[in-house]
Structure 1
């Protein structure tokens, strides 16, 4: 009887030992090779246009990462330009897209992919660029602390050609009078737009000539109804549908122009823009932008910026007319009387050319840091 009990006890110990070894084996982490993820894109080259906004532009797919243990990896896609994928700060400026749990592919519509490339990654539009895409598989901890298990990466490259997505808002086109010659077709730099599709129009006009009566006289032609031509309303701040040319002074000047076709009013404010931010102690005069009459853009070259800092586009030495960004990174008016917006973030440290483009009218103002 005693021998039987000893035998049973021995068998139990062996069973427990083998069970523990089995449990231990299931918890051994064995990072998979990058090739096992089979990361791929449905297209090696993508050309985007407004015509394929609703169509599927690209699908990124992969296989689940098997770390050899009872863990559930999380996945993300990282988009960057090839030049930023090497060196000590490789991929530091990537646009990161986290994927939902249990998801092993990500499909982008034309509109969404174009927005990622042009608005977030700031690739040039209308030209072919190479973009690097990296899949990251990692094991995260429920406690929020960093995992000791190294992430697994798999990368690919593809060529893309994003387009500049501009909403064509209702507009008032500038029709030059007297000696001022203006384009007959709708052209950036010669439009006021109605971003809210109402009676109020706004834009920035460069008045290059020295006297408003001769060179910079003009009328405003509605794109909604070409028969509606707004001109002189009897004073410098009023319009009519039967008057002659509008006359602006002072000139030459770059003007912020606001018109209301219901109230038949128009106002002009001469402006000069500056960069004000952490890197220049928020000076409203030390970092000017220079207007380029050929491109219709304001440009500041050799601007030193620091990652993690912010700035604002200010005007005329103050903030009454100023521009920041919204939650999606789009440039928005931040001055009086609304005082909204978010300070523009700086993502990289270096010396840059900063450009402010107000030529397309209200709702289509943009900026770039290159």
Structure 2
């Protein structure tokens, strides 16, 4: 899990040309703050998703405070979904990804998503995009293990296979979807990352269910296509209308994809039965559907299969509870995110100015750029070439060596 959070999520946020230090460095800080807490590995993923929505628009101090506010709300939401509503969301599509994305986008809107004034700083270099793409590939490699860590036995194996199939299908569909969405029919690195992550996030909620191979492939492919097309067509319009920055686009790749995973959970719950492909193992996948305590039905099941007593829910009732969990996560994340964003606007929390947005310069020591030797020896005119033994040339050469030495010292890090 630590590799997914630090290497995967951290590198995925390092796509901005002038904000890569803050993306990686603050991710390390927030992860270190949350990993030692209760359910720390799960919380750190949600915090990393939230950080993606606020890249470049919040100071490190604001992000630290936001994390301290988010952790208890996330824990309470996780408890509500899994223990009170008793919806099945073992991979965290709803309580981790959707909550983190919507919470971050709402906080960004309340804080004041100031994107239009500094659009030139939102550009990415080839190096930063490759780093972000490597982070995505790290997550693709490790996500099958992550989504199955709450399961065991056959359920765990099924979760790993379904996650792998959905992620591969998402990767295959992301490229043509990106080309279709692009006005010049070209591929976009950001679109591909969004599609792959979307497919992986969506399958998390249903990875250990009887999704079948074709179901996992369809879920990954459909979610990937929807995420890419939404990111390219709908997201810019919503950002313009609502004034939300959402720098890393987590509202689509984690928020929308998490909601689609939740809807897939509704469908799977509605079709679950102890007389179908599940058999009595349906009571392990959906514990609330197990017969109530001290009932003849439970006694009959326990006689040949060990399951704890449940709520006696029907498949339709469990599907309704799955839908209620989606709505609960949406409402809680929006309200809590807005309140947290308003709190971050306090003057003592180092609010960023327009010149500080999407830039590392205020909080990080940036290495000095070394001047090119060719530029230092550029000839001004046809008769300005100085002889190597000329005193003026020696003085200029000595100054150039001093500049190079100073630049080298500034570029040296620990």
TM interval, shorter chain, is under 0.3
- Which protein has the bigger helix share? 2
- Which protein has the bigger strand share? 1
Higher alpha-carbon Rg: 1
Higher relative contact order (CA 8 A, sep 6+): 2
